[in-house]
Amino acid sequence: MPRGATRTNRSKTVHDLTRRAFLGTLSRCGLGACGFCAVAEWDLQRALAAERPESGPRREVEFFETLPGGAVRCGICPRHCVLNDGETGACRSRVNLGGRHYSRGYARPCIIRADPVEKIPLGHFLPGAETMTVAVGGCNLHCLYCQNWQHSQARPDKLKTFDLPPDEAVEAARQKGVKVIAFNYTDPVAFLEYAKDVAVAARKAELRIVAATGAYIEPEPLLDFAQYVDAITIGLKGFTNDFYETVCDAKLDGVLNSITTIANKTDCWLELVNLVVPTYNDDPATIREMVGWIRRNVGCETPLHFSRFVPMYRLTNLPRTPVTTLESACRIARDAGLKHVYTANIAPHDGANTYCHKCGASLIQRLGLKILENHIADGRCPKCRSPIPGVWK
């Protein structure tokens, strides 16, 4: 039984049950109570996992603490899940096996794709570059609107997977002729051990590494990973703790901490993305507060993408984000002094294009994930020769 797990009280009651009692509760609640069942699914898996033998490849987690009685306290994300023997963390991907902490689904990605770097989204990093994108199941966030919930909200070893050790991942990328390996679709925080090993191998092979993450992670493992990463897009999903707790099942501070860590302590190219969910995080005052924080703590040159919400997973009762909302969010960010503000997941839209922050010249014209025109030469505006922040070659 986990002690002091950082999950909120509401789920702790579920943790405290034995499997039999848990299933009993579930049947008493009536399986028709879908909402409850949906949350309980994770806990159910966790309860069942305790009695099921582990199989498949795994690798020991680097950041954890051994507790008395064979328990471990995970040190990857601010949840610090405390796991007894056989128990799985909130990310569904780390497990205590015989008093040792393992990353499950190691080298078993459930997604391998060739995508343009714009998919991350990255607007100022090698525009149009093709990536080999890899994702392993599981996530330490449980966002209600997750666009890849089938993979992120599942146990990595329960998905259909590929067998791709890190050196083979690099080889596959080279064979495909791509220069960038990306971690996207699910959060690399959940499969950090594999992501880091791939990144190390990629660095040796002179391939670049980019990652999209919710960045709900402790500074130490983040820095350990980021030293091998060339660009990172952090999803700053909202700017109130209430939002993070209600929608993402996380806490805002942990994410802000990661953003400043990347911005101030690494050479990683950083971009931020904010998915604007109608009625949840579209309040102009909060957006104003958020962009103010970004300007003060990260700087005005960091690109910020306001992404359009599409009804998904558990938020299917909401409309798509009105375009006007995205446009006004962009206006607020520009007024606050941010130089490169974008709309995402909406096309064709002028907000997706890059303009020179100095002279206003059109630099990159985009249509969805496609680059239609790119006029940036040597990282500068062709008209006024101002340097444009980013990684251009």
Partner 1 sequence: MPRITQSSCHIHRAVLLAWLAAWVLLPAAVPAADPPEALRDRTKSDFDEQAIHALDFMLTLSLTREQARDILPIIEDACRLHLDHHRRLAETQPERIEAYTAFLEEDRLNQGFSPKVERRAAQVHRQGVAIRDERAAALNDLSDRVWEHLTDEQRLAAEEYKPRREAVSDALATRSEKLRAARHRALRGETRPPRHHDGNRALDEARRERAELYRSVHEMPDNIATYLLSPAAAGWLYKRAGEERPDVVRRAVECQKNGTSDYPLEQCKKDDTTARALSREINNWNLVNGMHFSCEQIEELIRLIHKAENLKVALRHSRPPSGMSRRDYNAAMVQLELAAEDALNPGQLEVLKNYHPCLVPPQNLKNPVRVGQAADNTQMTRWLQQARTKPERRVEIMIDQLLEKEEHRFGEFGPDELERRRNLLRDTVRKAADMDDVEFALNKDALAEAIQPTNPLRELVGRIDELSRARLMPGNTAKFLLHKEMAEVLRIRHQQLTGPFASQRSRAGTEAAGASAHE
Q: Which residues bind partner 1 (CB under 8 A)?
A: 10, 34-36, 38-39, 112-114, 132, 142, 144, 147, 162, 164, 168, 172, 175-176, 246-247, 249, 278-280, 308, 310-311, 314-324, 345-350, 352-353, 365-369, 372-373
In sequence order, which residues have a C-beta less than 8 Å from that of residue 33 and are 6 or more positions away?
Answer: none
Q: Is 19 in the site for Zn ion (CB under 5 A)?
A: no
The interface partner of residue 361, options being Zn ion, partner 1, none and the CB cut-off 5 to 8 Å by kind, is Zn ion
Q: Interface residues for Zn ion in 332-391 (CB under 5 A)?
A: 356, 358-359, 361, 381, 383-384, 386
Residue 322 beta carbon to partner 1: minimum distance, rounded to whole angstroms: 6
User: 300-337: string of b/e by CB count within 10 Å (b at 16+)?
Assistant: bbbbbbbbbbbeebbbeebeebeeebbbbbbebbbebe
> Which of 15, 383 has the CB closer to Zn ion?
383
> Which of 100, 375 has the CB closer to partner 1?
375
Q: Is 331 in the site for Zn ion (CB under 5 A)?
A: no
> Which of 19, 383 has the CB closer to Zn ion?
383
The interface partner of residue 359, options being Zn ion, partner 1, none and the CB cut-off 5 to 8 Å by kind, is Zn ion
Residue 359 beta carbon to Zn ion: minimum distance, rounded to whole angstroms: 3
Residue 354 beta carbon to Zn ion: minimum distance, rounded to whole angstroms: 11
Residue 62 beta carbon to partner 1: minimum distance, rounded to whole angstroms: 26
- The radius of gyration of the chain's CA atoms, rounded to the nearest angstrom, is 21
The interface partner of residue 383, options being partner 1, Zn ion, none and the CB cut-off 5 to 8 Å by kind, is Zn ion
The interface partner of residue 352, options being partner 1, Zn ion, none and the CB cut-off 5 to 8 Å by kind, is partner 1
- Supply 290's token pair: 């958020």
Residue 226 beta carbon to partner 1: minimum distance, rounded to whole angstroms: 26
> Which of 35, 53 has the CB closer to partner 1?
35
How many residues contact Zn ion, by CB under 5 A? 8
- Element housing 196 (H / E): helix 192-204
Please, which residues bridge with residue 72 across strands? 66, 83
Residue 389 beta carbon to Zn ion: minimum distance, rounded to whole angstroms: 13
In sequence order, which residues have a C-beta less than 8 Å from that of residue 42 and are 6 or more positions away?
Answer: 90, 92, 142, 153
The interface partner of residue 357, options being Zn ion, partner 1, none and the CB cut-off 5 to 8 Å by kind, is none
Please, which residues bridge with residue 275 across strands? 307
> Which of 29, 52 has the CB closer to partner 1?
29
> Which of 58, 142 has the CB closer to partner 1?
142
DSSP 66: E
The interface partner of residue 354, options being Zn ion, partner 1, none and the CB cut-off 5 to 8 Å by kind, is none
> Which of 80, 174 has the CB closer to partner 1?
174
Q: Judge contact between 285 and 318, C-beta under 8 A.
A: no
Q: Is 37 in the site for Zn ion (CB under 5 A)?
A: no
> Which of 98, 279 has the CB closer to partner 1?
279
- Supply 45's token pair: 């898996």
Residue 275 beta carbon to partner 1: minimum distance, rounded to whole angstroms: 13
- Determine the residue type at 251: K
Report the SS3 class of residue 377.
Answer: strand
> Which of 72, 207 has the CB closer to partner 1?
207
Residue 330 beta carbon to partner 1: minimum distance, rounded to whole angstroms: 12
282 vs 151: CA distance, rounded Å: 27
Nearest residue to 124 via CA among 371, 382, 384? 371
- Helices 166-176 and 192-204 cross at an angle (nearest 10°) of 50
Q: Judge contact between 211 and 177, C-beta under 8 A.
A: no
Sheet holding 64-66, edge to edge: 64-66, 72-74, 82-83
Nearest residue to 54 via CA among 20, 17, 98, 22? 98
- Supply 109's token pair: 């990605």
Q: Judge contact between 129 and 269, C-beta under 8 A.
A: no
Residue 266 beta carbon to Zn ion: minimum distance, rounded to whole angstroms: 28
- Supply 43's token pair: 């806990």
> Which of 1, 323 has the CB closer to partner 1?
323
Residue 386 beta carbon to Zn ion: minimum distance, rounded to whole angstroms: 5
The footprint of Zn ion (CB under 5 A) covers 356, 358-359, 361, 381, 383-384, 386
